[in-house]
Structure 1
Amino acid sequence: MVTEEWNDDYDAVVIGGGAAGLNGALMLARSRRSVLVIDGGAPRNAPADGVHGLFAREGVPPGELLARGRAEVASYGGRVVEGEVISARRAESDFVVGLADGRSVRARRLLVASGLVDELPEVARLRERWGRDVLHCPYCHGWEVRDRAIGVLGSGPMSAHVTQLFRQLSDDVVYFAHTAPPTAEQAEQFAARGIRVVEGIVTELVVTGDRLTGVRLSDGTVVERAALAVGTRMVARAGFLAELGLRPSEHPSGMGEYIPADATGRTEVPGVWAAGNVSDLSAQVGAAAAAGAMAGAQINADLVAEEVAAAVADRALGEIPVSAHSHSQP
């Protein structure tokens, strides 16, 4: 449910309409704040058949979950529009958000929930299998490949750790050294758990019919596998924040780039909060939604504090205070 009806200014503009953005918008709308969600329409989990590990919504298709979220935001007067945000800048005490189609909107506060982009290793046929039998998270999709022949592509700092997590789900796990050969300690741990290490560069996935059946190495060797776990480099979608001086930083884990934020979602730029994968690279849907709810509540509290201070100042001058929710939606 997406509506193109929107105004020129809002209490809060939410950039990104995934779990974090929609839950943040829901908290704000229920607090009688005028809120606009701008969504680019490219959710990270779109290829997945279902969302897993989410309490009371286990296995729900990603599109269905987002549709329900949009409808819930709209039911409290929030607005959701489709669009690509390309800029955000200060305008006196507010922000102006610019879209690729030339539209712009003014906001008192921003919630950045634009997610991230997975940068996949350059292996033939890997991208087309992404979200099907090429996986990245044992908690999101591991149960669905339990007891199968699983491979893990060594491609990042977390590859060895992920391998051990998938070993919990299957006795047949192979670690492809690829560009991240195991350390001596990791090799010992693999051996202790019965995980075979295959040396060499992976060049291609072997697909038979509509199923992954193997992994081909540069020397032509094919290792039979039914699923492949791949650690991606994750990069926050946040280029539009540059004018505000807010740029992605390298994550301490080495997994990619993110927008640093505190436990409430507050960033180093006053008036800007961040939630979901843009600030927490490993957050699943439930954690992203919870972070969005926290950020939404904190934004409302910040606005209330500002309005209280203004009301006190007005009272001291003998002026009549405005309505407590003058910016709110009906």
Structure 2
Amino acid sequence: MTIPSASENISTTTEYDVAIVGGGAAGLSAATVLARSLRNVVVIDAGQPRNAPAAGAHNVLGQDGISPLDLLARGRAEATGYGAEIRPGTVVDAAGSVDDFTLRLSSDDVVKARRLILATGLVDELPDIPGVAELWGHDVLHCPYCHGYEVRGTRIVQIATSPMSAHQALMFRQLSEQVTVIAHDPAALSADDREHFTATGIDVVDARVERVRTRDDDGSARLDGVLLSDGGVVEADAVVVSPKFVVRGELYERLGGTLDEGPMGGLVGTGPMGETALPGVWAVGNTTTVHAMVTVAMGEGVSAGAAVNASLVMAELDDKVSALA
């Protein structure tokens, strides 16, 4: 057996007022509010932002089109500038209750905190169609508000795989007269959906998709049409798909919480300003809703940060009043 040196495999325990799990727009916004309130706060971030493949984040007032990674870099600089600490890593276990939470990191270090904010977000489970993952975030899209303007007036192809597909097609039809829906899963489209497509001038192709074709464009993979199982090709400048949104709710469940039922699975239910059913635990961003775009997530983070600080202020006040009794 090898005995580790003094600097190897030695776990450490650090205590904070607030621990935030997740360093995206929501988590960093909460951290900034708390740090500006002179709270001892740590953000634990695995470094896997959901929107990393996208070229730009949109509907961000004053910074529309900014690179998602640049936006996060600025957010980290602001949060740490006010005194927040950011730790790279993954939380693998969580336990405890209000005023005494314990988080174990993948490094085996331990973080203790009086309050927790869960900003772990969600995972996009893409349709199992070759080429979709490779082009995800630039030529393969899902949100008309995030990237629709950039493909306005072009040939947009929706691959229908879920009941959400018809709604997406209608939203993208607002942006282009050249929208085609491929009924990859015929059950995804109802008779009403097809009637709506006819009324709005959306073409429907009843076929299975073999793959989303790619071509090499100066070293980058770009869209080269949609290949059907019968050998036909549907020309496209953008492809729209319907991912399944899977919320990262494991830590909430480990703490004793129960996920609420959402449109695509479990969500962490919250009340005003992000407070959950577990005392001392808040949740923000895509952990609580599948519709939280960047600016919505930021706002939720600010609200939760303010609420957590107020919670600590009142707890400290109770301690001082009790000490006088």
Q: Normalised by the size of structure 2, how large is the TM-score? A: 0.91
Once the two structures are TM-superposed, the CA of residue 305 in structure 1 deviates from its matched residue by 1.3
Match of 1:241 among 249, 252, 257: 252
Give the SS at the match of 1:96: strand
Q: After TM superposition, what 4+ stretches of structure 1 lie above 3 angstroms from structure 2?
A: 247-250
Contact 1:234 1:257 in 2 (8 A): no
2:266 aligned with 1:257, yes or no? yes
Q: Which amino acid in the other structure matches residue 274 of structure 2?
A: G
1:213 to 2:224 alignment? yes
Q: How does 1:1-330 map to 2 (within 5 A)?
A: 8-90=14-96, 93-179=99-185, 180-210=187-217, 211-251=222-262, 254-316=263-325
Q: Quick one: distance in 1 between partners of 2:194 and 2:254?
A: 46
Matched residue SS, 1:152: strand
The alignment yields a C-alpha RMSD, in angstroms, of: 1.5
Tell me, in whole angstroms, the C-alpha distance in 2 between the residues paired with 1:247 and 1:216: 43
Q: Distance in 1 between matches of 2:29 and 2:98?
A: 28
The amino acid of 1:141's aligned partner reads H
Q: CA–CA distance in 2 between the matches of 1:297 and 1:41?
A: 25
Q: Secondary structure at the match of 1:51?
A: coil
Q: Residue deviations 1:297-320, cap 9 Å, x none?
A: 11111111111111111111xxxx
Quote the offset at 1:202 in angstroms: 1.5
Q: Is contact 2:162–2:188 with CA below 8 Å preserved after alignment?
A: no
Aligned length: 309
Deviation at 1:262, TM superposition (A): 1.8
Deviations 1:245-298 (CA, angstroms, capped at 9, x unpaired): 2244431xx334321112311111111100011111111100000000001111
Alpha-carbon distance in 2 for matches of 1:255, 1:166 = 21
Distance 1:53 1:91, change over 3 A: closer
Shift in CA distance, 142/273, structure 1 to aligned 2, threshold 3 Å: same
Supply the AA of the counterpart residue of 1:207: T
| Cα distance, 1:171 vs structure 2 | 0.3
Matched residue SS, 1:264:
helix
Letter in 2 for 1:226: D
Q: Give the distance between the partners of 1:249 and 1:218, measured in 2 at CA.
A: 39
Instruction: Report the CA distance shift for 1:19/1:244 in structure 2 as closer, same or farther (over 3 A).
Output: same
Residue 7 of structure 1: CA displacement? 6.9
| TM-score, reference length from structure 1 | 0.90
Give the letter for the 1:291 counterpart. E
Larger CA deviation: 214-223 vs 13-22: 214-223
**Alpha-carbon distance between aligned partners in 1 of 2:13 and 2:36, rounded to the nearest angstrom:** 19
Q: Is the 8 A contact 1:157 1:255 kept in 2?
A: no
Q: Where does structure 2 lack aligned partners over 5 or more consecutive residues?
A: 1-11
Unaligned 5+ runs, structure 1: 1-5, 317-330
Deviation at 1:155, TM superposition (A): 1.9
Asked if 1 retains the 8 angstrom alpha-carbon contact of 2:35 and 2:84, the reply is yes
User: Which SS does the other structure have where 2:107 is aligned?
Assistant: coil
1:92 Cα offset (Å): 7.5
Identity %: 46
Q: CA deviation at 1:203?
A: 2.1
SS in 2 for 1:98: strand
1:178 deviation in Å?
A: 1.4
- Assess if the C-alpha contact under 8 Å between 1:15 and 1:113 holds in 2: yes
Q: Distance in 2 between matches of 1:242 and 1:55?
A: 35
Q: Give the distance between the partners of 1:196 and 1:295, measured in 2 at CA.
A: 45
Deviations 1:204-239 (A, max 9, x none): 012233331211222222111111111110111232
- Report the residue type matching 1:123 in the other structure: I
